[in-house]
């Protein structure tokens, strides 16, 4: 018997009912009602919830690391953090497990239409992806060209290589297209990125990588 953390299941049911209402606002042919104005992070979080509830994969976004300095404990109410600072992250934002495989990825979006600036990825994220690749994790990035409503799942190795290239400050949309598996945003899940992961796993099996 699996009991879901309180709220998850209800929240999921609520999400499932939403498109019935939203559908009537779809007035342009190329507008995908399913992403409902969500940003990339929200799309991935919703997809992860869907994958978790359906027992397809367990992937979570990591919380932002905070250095807590001062906490008040008011009587009869919960603790209030009164002074804290953002800490440097040392990993990517997302990791989890899918059919025995370790997944690790970072997601970034841009309003650009023709290229993706590499400064969006930070050194600690690149290094973490390198470390996880050495441990045979399935590592990738999800790049969203939001104005184009196009989403790409790119093997981390390609982004790492471009990132360390001193002559490169961005990768072109053409490069991203060549290296990646494009994922169409949909309804359930909002961003079915595991379709791309299935390709990576199939490639790995072909190459006898595992």
Binding-site residues for Mg(2+): 91, 93, 106, 125
Tell whether residue 13 is a contact of its own copies (CB under 8 A).
no
Residue closer to its own copies (CB basis): 16 or 68: 68
CA 26 to chain CA centroid, nearest Å: 26
Tell whether residue 78 is a contact of its own copies (CB under 8 A).
yes
- Count CB-CB contacts under 10 A for residue 13: 10
Give the DSSP letter of residue 94.
Answer: E
Quick one: which of 135, 167, 206, 207 contacts its own copies (CB under 8 A)?
135
Quick one: which of 31, 81, 147, 148 contacts its own copies (CB under 8 A)?
81
Tell whether residue 3 is a contact of its own copies (CB under 8 A).
yes
Instruction: Give the residue from 169, 188, 180 showing the smallest Cα distance to 145.
Output: 180
Quick one: which of 22, 54, 136, 168 contacts its own copies (CB under 8 A)?
136
Q: How far apart are CA 33 and CA 26, in angstroms?
A: 6
Q: How far apart are CA 35 and CA 49, in angstroms?
A: 15
- Count CB-CB contacts under 10 A for residue 75: 4
Tell whether residue 205 is a contact of its own copies (CB under 8 A).
no
Question: Residue 184 corresponds to which tokens in the numbers above?
Answer: 């169409």
Tell me the torsion sign for CA atoms 62, 64, 68, 73.
negative
Tell whether residue 90 is a contact of its own copies (CB under 8 A).
yes
Tell whether residue 63 is a contact of its own copies (CB under 8 A).
yes
Tell whether residue 128 is a contact of its own copies (CB under 8 A).
yes
Interface residue list for its own copies (CB under 8 A):
1-5, 52, 55, 57-58, 60, 62-66, 68, 78-88, 90-91, 95-102, 104, 123-124, 127-128, 130-132, 134-137, 164, 210
């Amino acid at each position: 018997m699996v009991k879901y953390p309180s709220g998850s299941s209800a929240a999921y049911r609520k999400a499932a009912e939403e498109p019935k209402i939203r559908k009537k606002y779809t007035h342009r042919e190329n507008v995908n009602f399913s992403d409902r104005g969500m940003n990339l992070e929200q799309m991935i979080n919703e997809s992860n919830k869907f994958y978790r509830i359906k027992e397809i994969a367990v992937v979570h976004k990591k919380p932002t690391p905070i250095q807590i300095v001062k906490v008040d404990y008011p009587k009869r109410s919960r603790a209030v953090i009164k002074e804290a600072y953002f800490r440097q992250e040392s990993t990517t934002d997302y990791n989890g497990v899918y059919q025995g495989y370790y997944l690790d990825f970072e997601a970034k979006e841009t309003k650009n239409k023709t290229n993706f600036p590499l400064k969006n990825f930070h050194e600690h994220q690149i290094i973490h992806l390198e470390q996880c690749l050495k441990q045979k994790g399935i590592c990738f990035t999800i790049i969203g060209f939001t104005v184009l409503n196009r989403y790409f799942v790119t093997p981390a190795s390609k982004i790492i290589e471009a990132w360390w290239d001193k002559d490169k400050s961005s990768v072109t949309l053409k490069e991203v297209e060549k290296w990646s598996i494009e994922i169409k945003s949909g309804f359930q899940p909002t961003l079915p990125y595991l379709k791309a992961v299935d390709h990576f796993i199939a490639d790995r099996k072909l190459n006898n990588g595992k």
